[in-house]
Amino acid sequence: MAHCNDQLIEQLLTQAEREGRCLVPPSAAIRKALLRRIGGAVVSPMPGLFARKTHWEELNRAQRHCEIIRTLAIIHPNWTFCSFSAACLLGFEVSWRHLNVVHVCSATKPSARPGARIQRHQIEPADAIHRAGISLTPPIQTATDCLLQTGFADGMPIADSAISKLGLMREQLMEAVEKRAGARNDRAICTALTTLQYADARAESGGESVARAVMIETGFAPDYLQYELTDPFDQTESMRTDFAWECHVRELTLGELDGFAKYTDQAMLAGRTTAEVLVAERQREAHLSIYGHPLLRFTMNEVRSAGVLAKKLQTAGIRQTMLPTWLNEVEL
């Protein structure tokens, strides 16, 4: 019997992985068998949901969040997902700190009990759309909800990706935010509008968006995004850096956000080993050095640590401009 359960569990886990969701046990016996495996080959990301440990560890936070949502949508077909959960499903760049709970529409009062894994928002899902059988709030409403619930730095990846990935217009989003002026506090409206004013579709990752927002907040806004240089060893190839600042006449400082994903994420590795990616990165940096521009590298930990990135930029000789006072500049 135990051997039969083992085979069935393996089959069920494999099927769940193919469908991009977690496993919901079809029987009490399978559930008990899965519970016994927790701490070993199986993980339980939410009560009643199970996944193979090796598979779960290969996923980033956003991918895990989407697998949980796809599973909950099967268990609760009448649920409509909203806020950061809907944004994640739609392909927006969402700061992972907002993906610790699942966001769902509710016709009753909103709820956010401490420690709860489901957060209910008092949002009318009348205009819900359906993606792969999952009900969620439409893109403009989703982006607007997120921007009104977060600050400038965490709102920037939402705004950037809403424009670049879904082709939404800045004006559309600003109009949607302004329509909420009577229902939200002025500060949230101002912050959302300012985030959209600074939004830029050229950002290639959520991390770059957050880093740029922090630079703007501290007075070190980059002069260029995705700054392009010709490869000095191959004139048919170009190289881009995430950021660039004009320090003096005809002098630049280049900036690169370092992340672990490009060395570990299988999709980003594109069949290469981590060692091969590291060597290619060193070669690229050597080619960039031919131009003589200083290259400043920093991590998301430095971006998120108060004052650390600003201190690094200042030490690198990048001019600090006047700090923005956007909350007083946006007219409602």
Model-level pTM? 0.86
**Residue 135 identity:** S
Q: What are the start-end ranges of the E strands in 48-204? A: 49-52, 80-81, 102-105, 118-121, 129-131, 134-136
Contact, 58 vs 67, CB < 8 A? no
Contact, 244 vs 227, CB < 8 A? yes
In tens, the pLDDT along 135-171 reads 999 999 999 999 999 999 999 999 999 999 988 999 9
What is the rounded (10 degree) CA torsion for 135, 138, 144, 147?
A: 50
Give 10-residue mean pLDDT values along the chain (332 residues).
73 96 94 93 95 95 97 96 97 94 84 74 85 94 95 96 93 93 80 94 94 94 93 89 83 85 54 68 83 91 91 91 60 43
How far apart CA 83 and CA 69 sit, in angstroms, is 13
In tens, the pLDDT along 241-260 reads 999 999 865 689 999 998 65
